[in-house]
Structure 1
Amino acid sequence: MRNTLFLLALCASFTVNAQFNTTLRSNLPYNTGVNDIWGYVAPDGTEYAIVGLETGVSFVSLADPDNPVEVDRIPGDFSPWRDMKTFGEYAYVVADRGDEGLTVIDLSALPDSVSFTHNQYDVPGFNRTFVRAHNIYIDVPSGRAFVSGGDRNLNDGGILIFDLVANPAQPPLIGVGPETYSHDVFVQDSFMYCSEIYDGELAIYNISDLDNITEAGTTLTPFTFTHNAWTTADGLSVFTTDEEPNAPVAAYDISDPSDIKLIDEYRPLATLNRGVIPHNVHVLDEYLVISYYTDGVIIVDASEPDNLIEVGQYDTWDGPDGDFNGCWGAYPFLPSGLVLGSDRQTGLYVLDAVYQRAARLAGTIIDRDLRTPLNNVQVDIQASQLNTGATDPLGRYKTGLAEGGTYDVIFTADNYLPLTVSVDLTNGMTTTLDTSLQTTVPRFNVNVTVVDDETGEPIPNANLLYFNEEERYDVLTNEEGQAAINNVFEGDYELFITEWGYRTIGVENAAPSALGNQVYRLSRGYMDDFVTDEGWTETATARTGLWERGVPVGTSFDSRAFQPGVDAPRDFGRQAYLTGNGAADASTDDIDGGTVTLTSPLFDLTRVREPSISYQYWFAVAGGTPPLDDTMRVLLDNGTDRAELAFYTEWSTEWAADTFVVSDYLEPTATMQLIVIAGDTGEGHLVEAGFDNFAVNGSVIPVSTEAVFAPEVAVAVFPNPSPGAFSLQYDLPFSTAESTLRLTNVSGQIVQERELSGKNGSLEVGLDLPAGLYFAEILDGNRRLWVGKVVKQ
């Protein structure tokens, strides 16, 4: 028996970091690495800590919490990962190295000693023996143990289920869960919550019938590396961790498991963006007790799960932030209220905790003049505790503190005057504060009309993306080709106009004051830079790594760039299509277990002379077991036949370009489609792909309409080029009140328009235009009678 007592003053020599609403009672170090922690209450009421070690399991009496005593220790195969749970007078342990299987420990002789057996199991249907696992959970009401994270060649590391009631000393295997690797598992009320870490998702299963386990719902977690999950007692909310630097603890509404909703995320503000990693979250009376590696034990009030507020902390780690050092586990379920923490380097921590409901603040912020909600207003409570809040698109905000009191709250937003309001906050309550902000800069109405450059007809449902760093507007044109964006703050914006079947227009420095009534003319053709959604579809047989449109997030593997962090050069915008696009680690959300397919909308090549197709791409494959047999294929379909344009197998993590003449492969038709397929087949590898800058090249055959140039029109422009105004003389074959002269720039914007007087005459135009190339047109209603180019010097 070993007895180690550390006085609080001595403990402070290596645990000098932040703490509030917690008190250190004692610390017990070990001569080996420490991993997980659990607790046990003997029939006589004595509380014990069960500490996972790299070389076994330790049993510590907490009869005197200020003087913890290790009463026994069992040896085990070396493993950095051990997990323990209890049922009755037994503890059940798994390790994911070695071959101990399910270790059953008899605790009935404590404090004198413990005894144990290792149990291995043949699993029906797999011709394999269960010898190791990463995690275990025991559903006490049903008396069942759920083991997860075993060997990938046994049920893919999915769930195995044991009956502890039938034989607690050697429980029989009674069920097998889905064949999907589950890193951790939690069970409550006939639902099983699996942290399917390599799929990046939380999966909820109905296990009311173990012979027919069915999926109730899934959701990707914020960093798609789902490590652990735990629900509230009512089963309406679940909280997850992603074991990644800077990842949050996420809160979800699971009142309808088929429609899981993310409702909040918590990150420790004192170490924000320092690479701190959350490990495990447990729930006690609507408090989250989180082991947060280098941030120690953190307590969060989750009584309002959509407004998570930190109310306690004890930091067990005195080293630098980030990495996998520090607090592995935290156990809050002892009847005494003690919280047990396990630090990988410094051992067992016994803590007192004050569980205190947060003092919350919520409300809505609107524009004082327009009475419309304001998005992204920053809300800062002037307090010693760090806090953060911001309004959503509906103007709503939620925030709070651990301590109630009277505080100043400052509301700030770009283009608005800051506002300070004094407010009383009360623990256990939410104070509502609605207010408004006054703008400081002028606003403008943007009105845009989009028409077909060939016919002059309006283009309905064209996409307008108008944005800068602070604001973003996504608008569709109406049946008249018109789109309006009202009350836009002055500033530098970018404008993109897209529609499938037309060439994209991009305008830089598109100030709203200059867009009061602009007409843009789209040329016919096919191109897609993916700045907007033009109707490509994504399908998959793979579990992860699905195609998604977004701004690329760069990834790396083995100290080498894997996914580029930029889109293709020489195109509009910053978006591309990527296979999984969420985290910096290449193994997170890459293509796994199948193929992912990206399919274009239909396009008509019957009006294109000598059409060719071009695009940019990259493809990356690495890791796993040779051979690297994964591919990216590009196919072309004409509605009847299908041909393969490209077959990529080599690692090319920089954007490359390819061009193909359509007639070399298929007959051009009106029902063409491009299909891009990337896949992880055979042995598992890291596989990612990107696709961007699609275009059909070739001259468009004009539409045969009445908008044909009239041969009788005589027009002369001089001087051309001109440093000043242009003099235009015209002679038309008829006189009409609808004849106009229109000048447009290279972006299709109308920069000047003049009515023509009579069938012939002259006028001066372009005096105030900046230098550049312009197109001059004479129109009779919708008929284009003449077009020419003019150059302003």
Structure 2
Amino acid sequence: MLATLFLSALAAPAAQADGVVLQAKVDPGANCNDIWGYVAPNGDEYALVGLTSGLAVYNCVDPQNPYQTGFIPGPGSLWRDVKAWDQYAYVVTEGGGGIQIIDLTDPENPFLLKTWKPNDFTNAHNIAVDEDTGMLYVCGTNRGMRFYDASASPTSPPYVGTYNNEYVHDLHVQDGWAHLAEIYDGRYRIVDVSNLPNTPIRDRITTPGVFTHNTWANETNTLCMTTDEVNGGRVALYDISNKTNIQYRDDWTPNTNTIPHNAYIIGDLAYISWYTEGLIVLDISNPSNIKKYASYDTSAYGPGAGYHGAWGCYPFQPSGNIYISDMEEGFYILKVEGTAINLEHAELGNTQDEAGPYPVSITASPNFANSSVTGVDLWYRVDQGSWQQLALSQVGATDEWVGGIPGQPSASVVEYYFNATESGGRNSWLPNGTAPGSLSHSFYVGVPQRLYFNDFEGSGDEGWTHGSTAGVDDFERGAPQGKAGNGTRHESTRWYDPDVAYSGSKIWGNDLGNGVNDDGAYNENASMWLQSPPIDCSNSANTTLVFRRWASFEGGGFDEARIVVNGNQVWVSPQFSGEVLHITDRTWTQFVVDISDYADGVANTTIRFELDSDSAFHMGGWGIDDVEVVALEAGEPTDTITLTGPGTAAAGSQVSYQISTAPANRPYYLAYSLNLNGSLVLGHSLDIGQPYTVVDQGTTDAAGTATVTRTLPAGAAGATVYLEAVGVTPQGELRDSPPLTLSIQ
């Protein structure tokens, strides 16, 4: 099982693009924040890239070879926002007051014209501009949302007024309407700004995640999209045709462990910078049924990693090029083409069949002219093991591709996904996450039963205890704060704590960083433990521990982490060797441990997470969420009966079939069907599908045998039927035979 755990980290190779082409990627030399665009009077396109140290301007006329034309330093800040109007860029930050006004008259030589109104406010989070009127809206300041009229003077815009009701985090303004994102109140609000400084409120609505970060309305002001900047947050779409009666239409997320940031609408498409998922483009042509249209994963971080990855998005350049600013990776220029291949598949269901193979079929049809699907790969893994690749076969000249996942012993969990390629080299995958394998289908071989689950969101610890046998214990339950640190004993080794829970808001972990002096690192010279309450596994088999882990430990020999079940070690962190065996998770991952040797049949099973540390170099320690204990019961035996007889026969002739190895002196049945689609009878899986017909029934002899003789119908010539024998055990359980094919001549 330990080998399986290590192999589970080796995922299938993943393409980044689904209907999106990379034009260029630029490392600006500092972490990025927001991004915007500018078009010069001659039509040349430029990117305005916010950095923690200032603003960089890039010429993007050749999108595959952008170059920097200038850098304007500014107050150091994680947050920097920029908008362009006329021939100027307006920049605000959380690091200082006033508006930086940057002259773009010659965008090949941009320069800071002035910092305007530096004493009006000490900090600002965002700036918006009404493209038609030139009114600037500076929000997230220490003095409310403030208005400045750039149309009166683009280089010295006069102050017009203040909106000082709820805190406004961001907004979009057009046609006299302001769409406000009130993040801390969790609301989207519509305000009439046609007669400033008056700002009468028209309507408001609470967004799904109650943490409204960003809003953007379509060109006709009939729809507005919002983002909720929380783990598991969603984009939501609202009908705002009546500004006094906002109507919810739909919401969407690629998975429940990610965070959206900024959304923008052009026509029937919404473009979103979605932190760890990169760029996501959604089809909103039916506002009540949002669908994914395309995506490009810019980030090295996976779902669950929190506030990392794509910060800003600018989709409004006339060329159709899209700018993405990724906090860690840099500035991207992308082009959206749309999904290359349409994929349709009916998911496989749970089964008790161990023999397999499990037949798989998928329809793959190309979307582009003169394009063809050149291959479809099925990737599958068993019990969180390593991914295995299986090339599917095309059925003639059709769009159907078929194959089979090999049979697996019960009890097993099988996950799978598809990755298809077309003649232009583009890829599409299913399930349609942001990268192949980021989502997967799954089914059980056997019968699963959940014995215990805790996501740690309760008001108390619910029986979980912790302590130490040496040193000071620092296990705690709460919200992780995303602390990080660098190696001292092992240079260049950096660790990160989660800044969000896998689900909800709370986890168990070492030093979550909530105290004034807490740095997120576990204590030195300590032996600490966290233990579950007793879990009843008295009637379980194949018991498995499943939980979400975000952990960082110095390699064994210095520090050591363990999982102990009923006093028996079932997992230990690897021994230090050549600087490569530290554990430094950067995202939440599912961790699966077979604990059947020590938990099966044990009424009061306890699970214990342990950590021993030495005197130097301490990392983040355990991060634990969504702990689950599952028993996976084996399915009933299949294909244990033997059925023999002719495979071909003439219509109207007499045929005989022999049943053997069936339960002795027990009922038997012989049935036929015109298909092998499978069917479930009293919880037992048969090979033949519905509808089926029982042609004979009776009782086997003491040897478990029986003979069935029948005359075939005279008009059955040309038919192919599938026969299967079924027996009943003394306990009332079903047993069956492999199917036998009969071709009637």
TM bracket, shorter-chain basis: 0.3 to 0.5
Q: Between Structure 1 and Structure 2, whose CA radius of gyration is higher? A: 1
TM-score (normalised: structure 2): 0.45
TM-score (normalised: structure 1): 0.43
